[in-house]
Homo-oligomer: A and B are copies of this chain.
Amino acid sequence: MKGDPTVDRLLRHLHGGDPRALARAITLVEDQQPEAAGLLAGLDQKRIEDVLVLGLTGPPGAGKSTLTGALITALRKQKYRVGIIAIDPSSPISGGALLGDRIRMMEHALDWEVVVRSMATRGRLGGLCASAGAAARIMAASGCRVVILETVGIGQSEMDIVRLADLTALVLAPGFGDDIQAMKAGILEVADLLVVNKADQPGAGKLQLEMATVFTDPKEREERICATVANEGTGVAILLDRIFTLEGEFRSNGQLHARRKRSFQLETLDWAVEIVKADLREKLQTTTFTSTEPRQAAMELVKGFGKRI
């Protein structure tokens, strides 16, 4: 807990910006070490208040990682420290492609003001929301102005992650627009900004027009859609400008506060479920069930847990 000299030293180095302390702190939380609670409680609250957690999502192939790289470059020009949390499905099937994306981020590999952390969605000790949320706060405490939360936008756990962000940009590219009608309701649900990437490719104009119909308010239509060519850096400065403008709005109109309250609840529930799940898993190994039917066996398993005591 707080007062632990090891934790105090780690916090000091972390707040001083030491990237090794940052890495160690995140690992400590991910592995649910006993020092995790004290560490998290000791983080610089002012920096956590000031950070922007930016969600970046979209289908594979839309150019999310390239855009992340371009945003890092733009943020570094403004001398900001940047954190990146890359949520990696790390399924055997997609593993390769994402590995490639990570490698592309290597252009910033030697810049100590750019801190990158990959998080796998499988074989985890803790819940993904919980770990990603904690990592974002640790990065904030280490001095990051922006933490980019990059996910492949498919699957429940990845969608939950998006809900942790203060502000989310959905990255699309021409060729993904055929089924736009079916997507529209969902887009509004998750995306504050729509980025039409690969805007120099055929079909980009059509995609932008389709995206425009998502917004009914002309002002929003103007401000919420950005065209980029991420691999050339085109449009990225404007995108970053819009991101910071929207952040300012969200800070003053209470949106940011409301979203952080929701994140707090999501993360708390996620941690709690992981804690109880570990106990249930342990009990599962030692229980001889009278029922061979899982639904009924589950009722036997949850005896003594919560309301069903």
Contacts and interface: CB of A to CB of B under 8 A. Distances in A.
A128 B157 CA distance: 12
B280 A269 contact: yes
A96 B121 CA distance: 24
Copies in the complex: 2
Interface of A: 29, 36-37, 40-41, 57-60, 89, 91-97, 99-100, 121-122, 124, 128, 130, 133-134, 152-159, 170, 178-183, 185-187, 189-190, 264-265, 267-273, 275-277, 279-281, 283-284, 289, 291-299, 301-302, 304-309
Q: Interface on chain A toward B: helix, strand, loop, or mixed SS? A: helix
A153 B276 CA distance: 28
A285 B309 CA distance: 20
Contacts of A298: 130, 267-272, 275
12 contacts: A59-B94, A93-B183, A95-B179, A154-B155, A155-B158, A268-B289, A268-B294, A271-B295, A272-B280, A272-B302, A279-B307, A304-B309
Given A99-B182, A182-B99, A289-B268, A276 B302 contact: yes
